[in-house]
Structure 1
Amino acid sequence: MSEKCDSCSAEYEAIYWVPEHVWQKIKPKQDGFGGLLCIECAHSRAISAGHVLRFSGSDNGWGSDE
């Protein structure tokens, strides 16, 4: 199963989580919650917004804003 990045149109299979306060600054569709970004576009947009994303692997759930 793959997704399609709304920024560069690349297909990707990685599943990742970004803190909500960062996602609000980098999301591709600014008029709602939707949108998909590949890791490369998410990282690039985060850097431009003044954030550094650190990716780590897990087989047990999602991240947390807490």
Structure 2
Amino acid sequence: MSHNLDLAQNHAWNLARTLMVPVTLFRASGEYGVLPTADIDDADDLEVIHEFDPWSPAR
């Protein structure tokens, strides 16, 4: 988890490109985190910031 949004966004994009799966940047308890989108459950108390899709031409 990170308190720095810019750092979290960069790591999220790099993770999506490395794994070649969509990942979601979220905030929980005042910190930012990243998970593969398929691993996020609707019951989780997460504030979704952005989904990074490695197959999308625009970042």
- Structure holding more helix per residue: 2
Q: Normalised by the size of structure 2, how large is the TM-score? A: 0.29
